[in-house]
Amino acid sequence: MGWGRFFGWITGSQFQDALQLWAWWRDPTRYAVVGRLFVAEWTWLGLTVALLGLGWLAWHNWRWAAVLATTWAGYTFYCLNYYVPDLAVFLLPAHLIIALCIGAGLIAVSVSASQLISPSAPLLLRSPAPLLPLALFPLLLWHTAALWPSIDRSQNWALAEWGTAVLAQPLAQNGVILADSEKIAPLFYLQQAEGLRPDLAISVQPDEAAYRAQLTAALEAGRTVYLARYLPGLEGAYYLRSAGPLTEVGTAPLTSLPPTAEPRAQTVAEGIQLVGIELEPASAGVAGHTAVTFYWQAKTPLPETWHIYVRWAGGSPINPAGQHPAHNYYPTTAWKDGEIVADYHLLPHPYPPVATADIQIAFAPPFSQALAWQTVATVDLPAVPPTLPHGRPVRITAEGGAWLDEVSWPPQLRPQAGLSPPVLTAMA
């Protein structure tokens, strides 16, 4: 890493702008943000028991209570002033302290209850300490078993597959990828731990100003910049195009098709032509999807904004509101004469499964109700199991006397993977 990067890693210097030490005073909404994180984990009842336990500790040993309260306040104060998406991670020590206080609160309740029991009762009942762990252990074990499936990430490969597919693309040598806080993890891990594309500079920045500064510096140095996050206001100043799931920011227009694209010559809207297409029937980055890159070209300037809509023939658009091409970055009014615009889309495989399906597109002004669909490709889709086993009985009534009798889901599915509609069995 070198000493500079090592020092930056352990001090978090690249995130220093996210720490605003007066936010606790200037931004009262931070209290609601942090408060919701505590309530979501412990509920109001748990927090009340924790407060009771802290008071009980203060009564019996004020030094212990002072150390716990001060430490909890320090971590909480830090989070009140730290503007990052994964704020909950930095509250983990505060949660541990709450857990200790809840334990103290339960002991306080047990001690108070034991003092109300008759002195003639058996010793085990009058001394609650041995009973408390035994009474709580089955409850905690049941809660852990019930909660485990919702937090188990051992089979969560979605982001790793996405990152592998991104780094397998023909990205420019010594390019720069500006990522968000979620996508930086798989990209940086695959590069550092598995040695994929060590030539790329992959980073995350604390705010838009820092992203723009790095973007400008990289382009001035002659490096190619790719975005794995949204950065507004680039259209008009730069040439934008899809590079798979990334967005390439160029200083010169694309004027020829890449060798992987199939040439086309199809007019899709007034002044817009489809000049090429690139298909990936089974996307390597997102399971259960087809990836397609369209290459659009405008021969003359377009005075009107057109949105692109994409669907499987006969189905609903995957983007019902439409969007600008190139990941919603590049309005048609910003296109230059003769420029080729690469436009990447992901389509979830249709259900029920079919062997082949047609991809249709439509160009229309924003908020259009009537769309003129055109077929641009026929895709041979990968085979899938014909049925979904393991029916689960349910009872759902509906108007008209009908009721749902059974529903079938896949027996196993990775987290974040696409879920096809269930198989329903209804009776009237």
Condensed to tens digits (0 to 9), the pLDDT of residues 197-223 reads 999 999 988 788 889 999 999 999 999
> Model confidence at 108, in pLDDT bands (50, 70, 90)?
confident
Report CA dihedral (340, 346, 352, 358) to the nearest 10 degrees. Answer: 0
H helix or E strand, kind and range, residue 380: strand 374-380
CATH code of 256-384, in short, is 2.60.40
Contacts of 150 (CB under 8 A, 6+ apart): none
3-state helix, strand and coil shares in percent for the chain, rounded to the nearest 5: 40, 25, 35
Q: Which amino acid is at 420?
A: S
Average pLDDT over residues 186-194: 94
Condensed to tens digits (0 to 9), the pLDDT of residues 244-253 reads 999 999 999 9
Q: What is the mean pLDDT of the chain?
A: 86
Cα distances (Å, whole numbers) of residue 317 to 148, 203, 215, 314, 320: 36, 34, 33, 9, 5
Average pLDDT over residues 306-320: 93
Strands 176-179 and 201-204: parallel
Cα–Cα distance measured from residue 366 to residue 411, given in angstroms and rounded to the nearest whole number = 41
Condensed to tens digits (0 to 9), the pLDDT of residues 281-293 reads 999 888 889 999 9
CB neighbour class for 24 (10 Å; exposed up to 12, middle 13-18, buried from 19): middle
Is the pLDDT score of 363 beyond 90?
A: yes
Q: Spell out the domain ranges in the chain.
A: 2-116, 158-232, 256-384, 391-427
Average pLDDT over residues 395-408: 62
